[in-house]
Structure 1
Amino acid sequence: MIGTPFLYERLAEELVAAIAAGRLPDGARLPSIRQLCADHGISPATAFQTYATLEARGLVEVRPRSGYYVRTRQASRPLPPPVARPRPGAQKVSVSELIFELLGSVQDSAVVPLGSAFPPPELFPFEALARSGARAMRQLKPAQITGALVRGDEPLRELLHRRHAQQGVALDPGELVITHGAMEALNLCLQACTRPGDVVVVESPTFYAALQTIERLNLRALEVATDPQEGVDLAALEALLQQRRVAACWFMPNFQNPLGALMPLAKKKALVALLARHGIPLVEDDVYGELHGGAHRPLPAKAFDQAGLVLHCSSFSKCLAPGYRVGWAAAGRYTAQVQRLKMMSTLATSLPAQRAVADYLAHGGYDRHLRQLRQALSAQRQRAARQIARHFPAGTRVTHPEGGYFLWLELPAGVDAMALSQDALAQGISTAPGLLFSADQRFVHHLRLNIGRPDDVRVDEALRTLGGLARQRLAGP
């Protein structure tokens, strides 16, 4: 069962529907806070939160000393990139050196980290987590330190099981394994269902960490056409499965990195059914699911798994505790193999980190934190999109994700993204060029930008500078 939305969320969705239907046209003045309270019998705090939610989604703007208005949709809003149609054939992967070279710059605090994969740390409750950790460790009994090495801390596993159930995902409690972040979960799950030389289907473009894992395990990557808004093209996937022997798929149905695509609910259900017919496991990367911009968390593909073929992986690194490295896998029929692989590699996940997260989930106001985080990221997505539309060359195409903190740009054909990244780095700006996101390094005119830092004038200035550098590249010498 999906949780009941808050009053401000229900009211915001009603206004969203009115805007979409044209009952509230562009530029229309919305009721004042006082009028909204009177019309709906709500408190001023609820009214403010309602309008803040709409403002964060880019639907409403505040005009000083005038009130709230429906934002005028600009005809110049950039189009999203087209569906990526990869070249046929499985590829051996060799991307690690390129990734190490290009992304080392994000560790320099003087560099504006538009190329980073990490969320901005100022958005997270580190002080509260530290208090939770201290409280939890004071209550820890010595025997518990080695009591749950491989599967993870029992209180945290119980909390995760309960939270999944509240969100509409029925897990077998025994299939949850706590891991050292989502990357360990994903690595263990892919290793559990493949053998060296196997073919793994990935999105096009795909997250470079998936390519690194495929490279490390001596697998081959087969890319499938992927829509920037709705994710994997299921017809193209079915054609691949009929033509090739595939060992597994690695997909990110919720706010895919780098596209930000959100696979619709019916499409997730159809994906799980398609893979079940072929007996092919799905390694599901769901680290961005909590960073949605709507009223409810989108269900993962795991919610539709009846055959135990979905190996669901996630973590708290993107939504609560960056650096704590607390993730998990719900590995279905592969649970025993994942546990064995973990026992033979890292054996255990840090117990203090697990206990700190568990205590915060139980007492720290996790959902309140998530609402604030989502609102901040939604506002920043809108803000960055406006900056890109204003400063980048004509013909630039940009995704319009409903969650997460990435934008994927397709630059005009005359702009080499790798050269642009080098120009930008000389100006103290890191970016993630598109070559990182494909086994055959073919996204030569593309960039992924991390735009998650709220109200950061350095990001605004960096986007303005990056757009100017792109126009210079387009103009030529």
Structure 2
Amino acid sequence: MSKDFLYNEIAQGIAGQIRNGVLKPGDRLPSVRTLCQEHNIGMNTAKRVFLELEAQSLIDSKPQSGYFVSPQSYRRLPLPEVSRPSLVANDREPDELISKVYANMGREDLTLFSIAAPSGDLLPLAKLKKEIVHATRELNGGGTAYESVQGNLNLRRMVAVRSLGWGGKLHENDLITTSGGMGALSFSLMALGKPGDTIALESPCYPGILQLALSLGLKVLELPTHPVTGVEIADLKKAIPKIDLCLLVPNFNTPLGSCMPDENKKEVVALLAKHGIPLIEDDIYGDIYFGSQRPKCCKSFDQDGNVVWCSSVSKTLAPGYRVGWIAPGKYKEKILKLKLVHTISSSAIAQEAVANFLKTGKYENHLRQFRRTLENNYQHYVRAIAEYFPEGTKTTRPQGGLTVWVELNQDADTAKLYDLAIKKGISIAPGRMFTLQDQFQNCMRLSIGLPWTEELNLKLKQLGKLAGTI
């Protein structure tokens, strides 16, 4: 095991004990020497562990005394309740609110808590530029020629190799490349649904999925969703007679950041297969886990090709490259035909560049640092929210992903908060965006994909103060 991985694993273990209350504020931690003996590591590695915990503001160093759990290390805010949408299909799209929020995308004069995408400051931009140049040199015609309809072979091969890490066992021929994650979902919904069909989704749910479903003439049935474990299985069983297809984000969905346990994924796959209901799995956040191991996917338990697995690098590496893919299972020919009709071919240069980035190990190196940064960001956010936001505020405890879901007092209105915040140069995503029903008006989603700075801390302080006035 590399020293980098080892020190981070030890630091994560201690951080977990602090967050779970095993180590309490004021508790003394083992000395550097003791840590060396317990984990059979060198002095420098042990010091890096403590430096990492200090960087997360979880511990304090006291001269001549050692290291102690910080009094402000982690004030555990209550979790939001399980969502309770009506189990009746609905179509009350908050179109005006969604348009207003997403019109801010790309604006450099705003603090964009509203956009769940990584800041360019957290991405390996220089390395990506080199891969683009390399791809232009290596590809036939400098990348101007059409790729095959199925997509770049190198990319499909690398995605298949990486699927072994979550039990996917995919082959390069099992995959089709697309224009980003939304391209993958679009083809999947067009192939598996028809106007008038009912689709089951998590509640709250990413607005883009809601809009896409409605644009294709689908009826949307929102499922009760637990902020930690995802869709409630009992409620999915009740919905079975009403639905024709299902789309879930089992790993770190936005906005909740919940992660469905493996046994639940297995049960969902078996349940839907038994009733002949296709499952579209959006695994766009699966690589952004805060623990020591990537979670499995629903596709891991797919025995008959009923799970259509979709993902991309839009949330981890290069949002603007629009590189995504589908493992369509038994629906491959339908989706291939749709891709031929709608796009003919994908972007050759961007796909080749991403493929090489994955092949050389640069992607894994980037992900290790990226995940660590996002987890640290999350800790900073919840401490700021606990300190600055009104009494009674609740937050999710995502185990990965790019967002945190904040629930204010019941009478708060985050659409009004948005209007107040935008005047202060702050953009948020009000909760009503994430549903077609009359709910979540007192909630908001905040992106943790921004570099943590004192300025960001002050923006959260401003936001908390404004939240106390609505």
For normalisation by structure 1, the TM-score amounts to 0.91
Does 2:295 correspond to 1:288?
no
- Name the counterpart of 1:408: 405
Count of aligned positions: 466
- Name the counterpart of 2:380: 383
C-alpha distance in 1, partners of 2:16/2:74? 21
C-alpha distance in 2, partners of 1:221/1:253? 18
Does 2:308 correspond to 1:311?
yes
- Name the counterpart of 1:183: 182
Q: Which one-letter code corresponds to 1:82 in the other structure?
A: E
Report the RMSD for the aligned CA atoms in angstroms: 2.5
- Tell me how far 1:264 sits from its aligned partner: 1.1
- Tell me how far 1:276 sits from its aligned partner: 1.2
Q: Work out whether residues 53 and 375 of structure 1, in 8 Å CA contact, stay in contact via their aligned partners in 2.
A: no
Give the 3-state SS of the residue equivalent to 1:401 in structure 2.
coil
Q: Work out whether residues 406 and 444 of structure 2, in 8 Å CA contact, stay in contact via their aligned partners in 1.
A: yes
Identity level (%)? 39
Q: Work out whether residues 147 and 348 of structure 2, in 8 Å CA contact, stay in contact via their aligned partners in 1.
A: no
Q: Deviations over 1:300-326 (max 9, x none)?
A: 111111121111111111111221111
- Name the counterpart of 1:63: 61
C-alpha distance in 2, partners of 1:240/1:368? 42
Give the 3-state SS of the residue equivalent to 2:467 in structure 1.
helix
Give the 3-state SS of the residue equivalent to 1:88 in structure 2.
coil
- Tell me how far 1:391 sits from its aligned partner: 1.0
- Name the counterpart of 1:442: 439
Q: Which one-letter code corresponds to 2:286 in the other structure?
A: G
Q: Work out whether residues 83 and 228 of structure 1, in 8 Å CA contact, stay in contact via their aligned partners in 2.
A: yes
Q: Which one-letter code corresponds to 1:314 in the other structure?
A: S
C-alpha distance in 1, partners of 2:196/2:44? 58
C-alpha distance in 2, partners of 1:322/1:274? 34
- Tell me how far 1:343 sits from its aligned partner: 0.9
Does 2:344 correspond to 1:363?
no
- Name the counterpart of 2:133: 134
- Name the counterpart of 1:195: 194
Residues 471 and 26 from structure 1, CA distance in 2 versus in 1: closer, same or farther, beyond 3 angstroms?
closer
- Name the counterpart of 1:425: 422
Q: Deviations over 1:60-79 (max 9, x none)?
A: 42426464434558795221
Q: Which one-letter code corresponds to 2:398 in the other structure?
A: P
Residues 143 and 14 from structure 1, CA distance in 2 versus in 1: closer, same or farther, beyond 3 angstroms?
closer
Q: Work out whether residues 121 and 322 of structure 1, in 8 Å CA contact, stay in contact via their aligned partners in 2.
A: no
Q: Work out whether residues 57 and 293 of structure 1, in 8 Å CA contact, stay in contact via their aligned partners in 2.
A: no
- Tell me how far 1:146 sits from its aligned partner: 4.1
> After the TM superposition, which residues 35-50 of structure 1 pair with which residues of structure 2 at under 5 Å, given as runs?
35-44=34-43, 46-48=45-47, 50=49
C-alpha distance in 2, partners of 1:326/1:154? 13
Does 2:137 correspond to 1:121?
no
Contiguous gaps of at least 5 residues in structure 1 = none
C-alpha distance in 2, partners of 1:322/1:290? 15
Moved more, 92-101 or 176-185: 92-101
Moved more, 434-443 or 11-20: 11-20
> After the TM superposition, which residues 98-113 of structure 1 pair with which residues of structure 2 at under 5 Å, given as runs?
98-113=97-112
Give the 3-state SS of the residue equivalent to 1:288 in structure 2.
coil
Moved more, 194-203 or 14-23: 14-23
Q: Which one-letter code corresponds to 1:371 in the other structure?
A: R
C-alpha distance in 2, partners of 1:15/1:187? 42
Give the 3-state SS of the residue equivalent to 1:314 in structure 2.
strand
C-alpha distance in 2, partners of 1:75/1:378? 13
Moved more, 39-48 or 255-264: 39-48
Give the 3-state SS of the residue equivalent to 1:200 in structure 2.
strand
- Tell me how far 1:26 sits from its aligned partner: 4.7
- Name the counterpart of 2:158: 159
Q: Deviations over 1:153-207 (max 9, x none)?
A: 1111111101111332112432211111000001111111100111000111111
Residues 271 and 44 from structure 1, CA distance in 2 versus in 1: closer, same or farther, beyond 3 angstroms?
farther
C-alpha distance in 2, partners of 1:455/1:75? 17
Q: Deviations over 1:267-308 (max 9, x none)?
A: 111111111111111111111111111001111111111121
> After the TM superposition, which residues 236-275 of structure 1 pair with which residues of structure 2 at under 5 Å, given as runs?
236-242=235-241, 244=242, 246-275=243-272
Q: Which one-letter code corresponds to 2:318 in the other structure?
A: A
Residues 45 and 373 from structure 1, CA distance in 2 versus in 1: closer, same or farther, beyond 3 angstroms?
farther
- Tell me how far 1:400 sits from its aligned partner: 1.2
C-alpha distance in 2, partners of 1:192/1:55? 50
Residues 179 and 33 from structure 1, CA distance in 2 versus in 1: closer, same or farther, beyond 3 angstroms?
farther
The one of 435, 451, 457 equivalent to 2:448 is 451
- Tell me how far 1:387 sits from its aligned partner: 0.7
C-alpha distance in 2, partners of 1:99/1:32? 51
For normalisation by structure 2, the TM-score amounts to 0.92
Q: Work out whether residues 397 and 410 of structure 1, in 8 Å CA contact, stay in contact via their aligned partners in 2.
A: yes
Contiguous gaps of at least 5 residues in structure 2 = none
Q: Work out whether residues 87 and 239 of structure 2, in 8 Å CA contact, stay in contact via their aligned partners in 1.
A: no
Q: Work out whether residues 380 and 455 of structure 1, in 8 Å CA contact, stay in contact via their aligned partners in 2.
A: yes
- Tell me how far 1:330 sits from its aligned partner: 0.7
Q: Which one-letter code corresponds to 2:385 in the other structure?
A: I
Q: Which one-letter code corresponds to 1:160 in the other structure?
A: V
Residues 293 and 52 from structure 1, CA distance in 2 versus in 1: closer, same or farther, beyond 3 angstroms?
farther
Does 2:205 correspond to 1:206?
yes
